[in-house]
Amino acid sequence: MVTASSASIASTALTASTASAASTESTPSTVSAAFTDAGRARQIASTVPDPELPMLTLADLGVLRDVEVGADGTVVATLTPTYSGCPAMAEMRAAVAARLSDAGYARVEIRTLLDPPWTTDWISPEGRRKLAEHGIAPPGPAPRPAPGPVPLVLSPTRREVACPLCGSADTEETSRFGATSCKALWRCRACREPFEYVKEI
């Protein structure tokens, strides 16, 4: 569970407009019910797919940081955006809110946690498996530069990226930027196929 930092406290409550969906659901009224309800809410929020990598859920990607249910039944889901320019952030928030309200939660609040910034290290083992299954090479460990000026390395850096299609390690980068912010373009010299690679950040 992520501890809310000073930058995470929500200022805006988003009250779902589709409370009618709650009619078939029972509203938790006891403390123990509320406790198990947090697990259920988390499970529901965890099923929302990422708009740009739809084979992954927001939980697989590490974008969904936390889901809690307050004493008054309000579900609070916390998201961390991947890249500053990610155009899908608004859609992610709305999708998580919609999925929870469809599941019967009348009050849903979405918080954005900017700090600590998202890292590919948060992609779950399940997420990495799904990426590889879909022909996208999963990221290696993200660099953790020491505090202070970020050094520029100009010598060729050897990264081992196995081809997700044939498994060969004989691969090369064609571009560090791809169709989405989070991916680089690579090709395999063994099977000759191009593939995408989720670059470490």
| Segment lying near other proteins (by CB under 8 A), choices 16-24, 28-36, 55-63, 64-72 | 16-24
CA angle (14, 18, 22) in 5-degree steps: 110
**Distance of closest approach, residue 117 Cβ to other proteins, in angstroms:** 4
- Phi/psi region, residue 72 (left: phi>0; alpha: psi -120 to 50; beta: rest), is alpha
From first CA to last CA, the distance across the chain in angstroms is: 21
Kindly tell me the sign of the dihedral angle through the C-alpha atoms of 51, 61, 118, 174: negative
**Distance of closest approach, residue 154 Cβ to other proteins, in angstroms:** 5
Position among 34, 38, 40, 51 found at the interface with other proteins (CB under 8 A):
51
Residue 126 binds to other proteins (criterion: CB under 8 A): no
**Distance of closest approach, residue 54 Cβ to other proteins, in angstroms:** 8
Cβ 180 vs Cβ 120: under 8 Å? no
Q: Which residues bind other proteins (CB under 8 A)?
A: 5-12, 14, 16-18, 47, 49, 51, 79, 81, 83-91, 93-95, 97-99, 101-102, 109-118, 148-150, 152, 154, 174-179, 181, 185, 199, 201
